[in-house]
Structure 1
Amino acid sequence: MKQSISKLVAIAAVAGGAANVAHAQSSVTIYGIIDTSINYTSKALLSSGSTNTGSKMSVDSGINSGSRLGFKGTEDLGGGLNAIFQLEIGYKADTGAFDGTNNGVANTNTLFRRLSVVGLNGNWGTVLLGRQTDAVFQYNQWTSVADFGGITGNVGHNLDRLEGTRVNNAVRYNSPTFGGLSGSILYGFGEVADSSSAGQAFGAGMQYVNGPLGVFTAYYQSKLNADATATSSDTATLVAGNGKAGDTAVKVFNLGASYQAGPARLYGNWSQVKQPLATTATVPSSGVLPSGYIIGGANNNKANIFELGINYALTPTLALISSVQRTNLNYAGTSNTGKLTQLNIGTIYSLSKRTDIYTVLAHLRASNTYNPGAEGTAAGMNNNQSVLTVGLRHKF
């Protein structure tokens, strides 16, 4: 009997130890993207403040997908609960330099500017803490961002957040999926004493996926922080000193859908961005609009951004891609309106599951607004600009 009891105790101890090992199972993954391209840009400004233009050849990083290095991991805590983390650095593959900007906003001291989160997940959903995007970044799989990435950024996606704009000091909850429907809520703390609204950010979104159909909607807003010059988000903000702490700087609404019809993925979306603190600027006698008359600039109080596109799988390894973006701009204190229209055509050829070559011809036309530059390679003038890109992208 004593021997039997001893054996049972020994088996129980081994089983308990095995269970503890199972609960403590963890994994860490190193991943990244290297995206480098050769670009020809027409009508690029010769220098800042100049009205003269010329053609430009360049080797650039992250024209389609931002070059990055990331670390992510999970630990099984038992009972269906997991601890998770993710850290992501941006860098410039063409020079090897640290990429300390996001949507034109400098973060020179931000190492993990792309992502820095820790959280818990289970069958009840996921909670994440740290610097992160709101839900609309996950929904960009239904938009041109999935094919063209940053190529469509300047014409509107940097402003409407579809490319992923980060929020500091944020808490985010992602729900489980119920019948194809899932949701997400984000709150960014301004961390200002005696003011819950200063620097505050809020985002919410939902998506519905049913076979070939994907539909999404999202809303986001952020407020000026304590010194009234910025918000907790990397979203482009208005002229320093315009407004006071706690004033709403930007409001964004997104609605879009995608449908897979055989080899063709068809998609379309609309975003509206309001900047309540926009101010009126005087147009110079030269007639050339200043940089304030730019999408997301200090004078733009409302932007409506429309998009249609298609990805057609010609073969299992070759996709033909095309999209058009149109942005209608309204300016504060004036009847002036501006328009940006960008046409994109290209191909994605997969050499393997991790490596592809992409080619894109993008043409951006600006009417009564400052030209931000097609693909972001170089700013243009108040007319039109074309960019031809051939890129090599490797994911690991």
Structure 2
Amino acid sequence: MKKSLLALAVLGAFAGAAQAQSSVTIYGIVDTGVVYTSKALNAAGTGTGSKFSVNSGVLQSSRLGFKGTEDLGGGMQALFVLESGFKNDTGALDDSKTTNTLFRRKSLVGLSGNFGSVLLGRNTDYADVISSYTSVGDFFGVTGAVGHNLDRLEGVRTNNSVTYTTNTIAGFTGNLMYGFGETAGQTSAGQAFNIGGKYDNGPLGLGINYYQSKQGSTPSDTNLLVGTTGLGDPTQAGNSAFKVLTLAASYQFGAARVYGNYSRVKQDLNTGSPTALASKTLSAANKADIYELGTSYMLSPSLKLMGAVTHTRAGFNSSAKGKLTQFSLGTDYYMSKRTDLYAIVANIRASDMANTGVFGDAVGNSTIGGADGSQTAVAVGIRHKF
């Protein structure tokens, strides 16, 4: 009897909490595929060979999230988002560049109303929003290594941030973000700021975003964290480390979408001039220009065909330059609104710089042996959204 009363009391407490909240949603994505890559590094890093694997997050990172709103009256709402990433192939946390970060993807709380919305916490900047006008809208992470991990279109987080987004007015939405470096006596150390906007008018979509961050012992820009320490470089505190301007456009011609985008990235603290090809990675570049053209076509209400060409020109603070080019083709079959099957083939090739491979990561870790050359990756998988 005592156990029954205790269970009823616990259920009552949860029911009360649910009633106090206007809306709470549990959501997520589980994306897993079988992947073939050519010229993959072996475990010792001494040679290459063909590799077959089961990968989580081939198109979109697998995630689990909670979001909710509470009506405060007068058109105002309180809201929160908590989103964690995980690797479906192993069940582990997807904990890139951090250690024991449960809600690595997003951790936000704020208010919305007639003024727009204000959010505080760990958030992506507006490049993540306008990425829907680029190949990221179709291929997601497949085009990351050729440039979109660097230009933030793949979604890079800013810690300790305040984000303001306007309501949509005549198709236009604006965004401002500021990230605090949280260093005593050094206001500029580790800080970041962002200004962006998008315009939607029927089939036309236009986007622009500018992001800048500075180095520090606790930089708000997670792109500046060193290794998995969760720390930055205090010897460069207050110095501008990263700048990126992105322009994007997309147009829907009936069943077909065409798009193009350009990003200019500057990493001012990369003052070295690497001589070995293997060390000429995008993360080591002083400057990079990223260009892209792509299209998708709905062959039927359930079947989409996709293609994109992404090209990056990198400079290494000297006369040394390098190029990366990726050709991406794919098809996506929607079995329902929540479940789809996909097949992707991509070839990435390098000239006068390191080739980290199609599924190489944002900090230059390679999945391909040596420099130059090319790698082909083929992925077949399933994605379920809930």
Q: How does the TM-score come out when normalised to structure 2?
A: 0.89
Residues 147 and 290, structure 2, Cα contact 8 Å, conserved in 1: yes
Q: 2:367 maps to which residue?
A: 379
In our comparison, the structure showing a higher alpha carbon Rg is 1
* Mapped partners of 1:376, 1:358: distance in 2: 20
Q: What SS is found at the alignment partner of 2:150?
A: coil
Distance apart, 1:25 and its partner CA: 5.7
- Say whether the 8 Å CA contact 1:221–1:248 is kept in structure 2: yes
1:296 alignment partner in structure 2: 283
Q: Which moved more, 1:80-89 or 1:39-48?
A: 39-48
Q: CA deviation at 1:360?
A: 0.4
- 2:139 counterpart of 1:154: no
How far residue 280 of structure 1 moved from its aligned partner, in angstroms, is 2.1
Match of 1:38 among 19, 34, 38: 34
- Structure 2, unmatched stretches of 5+, are 1-18
Distance 2:330 2:145 in 1: 18
**Deviations, residues 239-296 of structure 1 (Å, cap 9, x unaligned):** 9759520001100100010000010010000001001111324424xxxx233x1012
Identity %: 53
Determine helix, strand or coil for the equivalent of 1:235.
helix
Q: Deviations over 1:142-199 (max 9, x none)?
A: 1111110110111101110001100000000000111111100000000111111001
Aligned runs of 1:96-245 on 2, under 5 Å? 96-101=91-96, 106-226=97-217, 231-235=219-223, 244-245=236-237
1:341, distance to aligned residue in structure 2 (A): 0.2
d(CA) in 1 for partners of 2:309, 2:137: 14
Alignment coverage as a number of residue pairs = 358
Structure 2 CA distance for aligned equivalents of residues 346 and 215 of structure 1: 24
Amino acid at match of 2:76: L
Relative distance call for 1:74 and 1:187 in structure 2 (3 A) is same
**How does 1:77-92 map onto structure 2 within 5 Å?**
77-92=72-87
TM-score by length of 1: 0.87
2:300 alignment partner in structure 1: 315
Do the aligned residues in 2 keep the contact of 1:238 with 1:278 (CA within 8 Å)?
no
Structure 2 Cα separation of the partners of residues 48 and 355 of structure 1: 38
1:357 correspondence with 2:341: yes
Tell me by how many angstroms 1:234 deviates: 1.9
Letter in 2 for 1:363: N
In structure 1, the gaps of 5 or more residues are 1-22
Contact 1:155 1:374 in 2 (8 A): yes
Q: Are the equivalent residues in 2 in contact too, given 1:242–1:277 (CA < 8 A)?
A: no
**Aligned twin of 2:14:** none
Q: Where does structure 1 differ by over 3 angstroms across 4 or more consecutive aligned residues?
A: 236-243
CA deviation map 1:108-143 (0-9, x unaligned): 221100000000000110000000011111111111
Quote the Cα distance in structure 1 between the aligned partners of 2:143 and 2:210. 20
RMSD: 1.7
Q: Is the 8 A contact 2:216 2:234 kept in 1?
A: no
Alpha-carbon spacing, 1:164–1:241, altered in 2? closer, same or farther (3 Å)? closer
- How far off its partner does 1:97 sit? 0.8
Q: Distance in 1 between matches of 2:153 and 2:268?
A: 21
Report the AA paired with residue 289 of structure 2: N
Give the 3-state SS of the residue equivalent to 2:128 in structure 1. Answer: helix
